[in-house]
Amino acid sequence: MQDQHSDSPSPRFGWLRRSPFSLAAAVTAIALAGGSGTAWWVMNSAKAPAPVVSPTAPSPQAIAPPAPAAPQTSSEPGIAQSPTAPTATPAAPTAEQTVQVYWLKDEGGQLKLVAAPIAVTAEQPEARLRSALEALLNDAPASDAASTIPQGTQLRSVEIRPDGVHVDLSADFKVGGGSTSMSGRLGQIVYTATTIDPGAKVWISIDGEPLEVLGGEGLIVDQPMTRQSFDENFVL
């Protein structure tokens, strides 16, 4: 026998079979009744605009120091151009100095010592003195003057020391002549050796040995000599 309840809806859930639309409405009603807060959040979340994300500001970058300038190169590839060398300042020309060289001159039958100025470029006193003595020994005097120093006499050394001027001559200085010739050459050396300092003392040596006697007549030479002592002890 067929069950009479198989085709008849249950009185409790009969509305489910009668209308599909009623089922959807029921689900909606349940959702609204049981989870009205959740449904409200979902609906408002859909409508609410998305939050605006501000762009991240770039972090400030450290300022790097300027790179050193690269050396200049020449127009030809592969050849570095050398830096320009500073221009050298030309040295100032050495100022000329004047010294006196002494010759002998006949004035009324009597010999006298006369000065002739010459220009030298040496700066040091000793060097200037050497130039003066070498001019006396090697240069020819003026046409109206003379020298009784024998040719070939050499200046071996000259030094300015605390006790005076030391002049060393070669042995040729003692050759030939009488007393007047010996006195004249001695006076030429003494006066020329004191051209820088007229009051200086002069020490004369021959080949390193002190000059004590000059000439065959035995002219005594007391040392040191000065211009004043020469004028007092020797007659030209």
Residue 10: strand, helix, or coil: coil
Listed in sequence order, the residues at least 6 apart from 137 whose beta carbon sits closer than 8 Å to its beta carbon are 149, 153, 154, 155
Looking at residue 96, its pLDDT comes to 82
Looking at residue 138, its pLDDT comes to 95
The answer to whether 154 touches 173, Cβ cutoff 8 Å, is no
pLDDT tens track, the chain, 236 positions: 444 444 444 444 443 344 444 444 444 444 444 444 444 334 444 444 544 444 444 444 545 555 555 555 545 555 555 556 666 666 555 678 899 999 999 998 889 999 999 999 888 999 999 999 999 999 999 888 999 999 999 999 999 999 999 999 999 999 988 889 999 999 999 999 999 999 999 999 999 999 999 987 788 999 999 999 999 999 88
Looking at residue 78, its pLDDT comes to 52
The answer to whether 163 touches 188, Cβ cutoff 8 Å, is no
- pTM as predicted: 0.62
Looking at residue 41, its pLDDT comes to 37
Listed in sequence order, the residues at least 6 apart from 43 whose beta carbon sits closer than 8 Å to its beta carbon are none
Looking at residue 211, its pLDDT comes to 96
Q: For residue 88, give both structure tokens.
A: 């050298």
The answer to whether 97 touches 124, Cβ cutoff 8 Å, is no
> Judging by beta carbons within 10 Å of its beta carbon (0-12, 13-18, 19+), is residue 190 exposed, middle or buried?
buried
Listed in sequence order, the residues at least 6 apart from 188 whose beta carbon sits closer than 8 Å to its beta carbon are 102, 103, 104, 113, 136, 147, 148, 149
Residue pLDDT, tens place only, 47-104 = 445 444 444 444 445 455 555 555 555 455 555 555 566 666 665 556 788 999 999 9
Map tokens 């060398």 to a residue: 85
Q: Which of 54, 76, 131 is nearest to 100 (CA)?
A: 131
Map tokens 């689900």 to a residue: 27
The answer to whether 155 touches 165, Cβ cutoff 8 Å, is no
Looking at residue 197, its pLDDT comes to 96
Map tokens 């006499």 to a residue: 153
Question: Within 10 Å of residue 11's Cβ, how many Cβ atoms?
Answer: 7
The answer to whether 118 touches 102, Cβ cutoff 8 Å, is no
Q: Report helix, strand and coil shares of the chain as percent, to nearest 5.
A: 30, 20, 50
